[in-house]
Amino acid sequence: MTIDAGALAGQRCVVLGAGGFVGTSLCRLLNSNGANVVGFGRRSRIDTAVFPGAWVDGEFNDAQAIAQVIDSADVVFHLLGGSNPSASNRDPAAELQTSLATNLSLITTAIRARVGKLVFVSSGGTVYGAATHFPIPEDAPTDPISAYGLGKLTIEKMLRIYSMIDGLDYTILRVANPYGPFQIPNRPQGILATIIQRALHGSPVEIWGDGTVVRDYLHVEDVCDALVRAAATNAGSKVFNVGSGIGRSLNEIVASVSDVLDVNISVVYKAGRSADIPTNILDCTRAQQLLGWTPQVDWAEGLRGTADWLSRLGKD
């Protein structure tokens, strides 16, 4: 099945979490596809000059502000993240409840606002937990080892219940580890940006564990391509893995960055984290078959482009 690239032309597309890393790229792609883009979130800490379309400042827990911005939207992209896997296990019960409260409020608001479609970004890296077979298809067991992952999974299942009760249309993307321009280094999520930035500055890279942890890294342009296709699809399947399908260890990533940037990188290994599963690689056959989506960005080129953006960021 092919998705018409112009399917969103003239449509009112609201991006919640538009100031973030994926949101910024998504808004640019939607804009170039002729969509009427409205961004909502905390104003990006990066260059706002690159943001296309209208912008509404607001917090995720401000239900009234969200109700206003998504009213009668054709598509709402929900990229608002919240916590991260490690932090979420300091107080799992509190994390789960906070995450559900804000997300459930968004879902019921979207129903009342008669939103045409809700595209929800779930977490391909955490909903499956410690899988035993790779790559992982969408129908694999889902046993998250963090409250963060369980929160995402529970929201997925609530979307399904609400679609049965109230007819809410939605698509869920279980996205792998995204990387690329606009990802800010030295944060709990986005190890690749951190590694590249440290490599550019000649500082040592800190790695939790022994560096054998394997993840599925996907360029943000490929993530956004999948998001646009998710918005336009009428497929019966509602849940799609979105990843490269290739597993890379942290040690391999350091080697790749060293190779592409042609610099030496020193690594400091620290004790592993309990919310880290050993391996995550997604099977994205369903997205290929039903969304006509496959990753396009070459690994080395993706790293080079990220490094270019990070080196320009450092000079501002």
Binding site for a second copy (CB under 8 A): 89, 92-93, 96-97, 100-101, 104-105, 107-108, 139, 141-147, 150, 153-154, 157-158, 160-162, 164-165, 274
Q: Which is nearer to a second copy, 146 or 183 (CB)?
A: 146
Asked if residue 172 lies in contact with residue 240, where contact means CB atoms within 8 angstroms, the answer is yes
Least distance to a second copy, CB of residue 180, Å: 31
Amino acid at 185: P
Q: Which is nearer to a second copy, 108 or 279 (CB)?
A: 108
Strands (E), 182-252: 205-208, 214-219, 239-242, 247-249
Least distance to a second copy, CB of residue 286, Å: 15
Least distance to a second copy, CB of residue 267, Å: 28
Q: Which is nearer to a second copy, 63 or 265 (CB)?
A: 63
Residue partners of 200: CB distance under 8 A and separation at least 6: 261, 263, 307, 310, 311, 314
What is the residue-wise DSSP string for 274-302?
TT--SB--B--HHHHHHH-----S-HHHH
Least distance to a second copy, CB of residue 55, Å: 29
Least distance to a second copy, CB of residue 28, Å: 33
Q: Which is nearer to a second copy, 166 or 259 (CB)?
A: 166
Asked if residue 73 lies in contact with residue 116, where contact means CB atoms within 8 angstroms, the answer is yes
Which ranges of 219-284 does DSSP label H, i.e. alpha helix? 220-232, 250-261
Residue partners of 297: CB distance under 8 A and separation at least 6: 180, 219, 221, 222
Q: Which is nearer to a second copy, 81 or 149 (CB)?
A: 149
Least distance to a second copy, CB of residue 225, Å: 28
Q: Which is nearer to a second copy, 162 or 179 (CB)?
A: 162
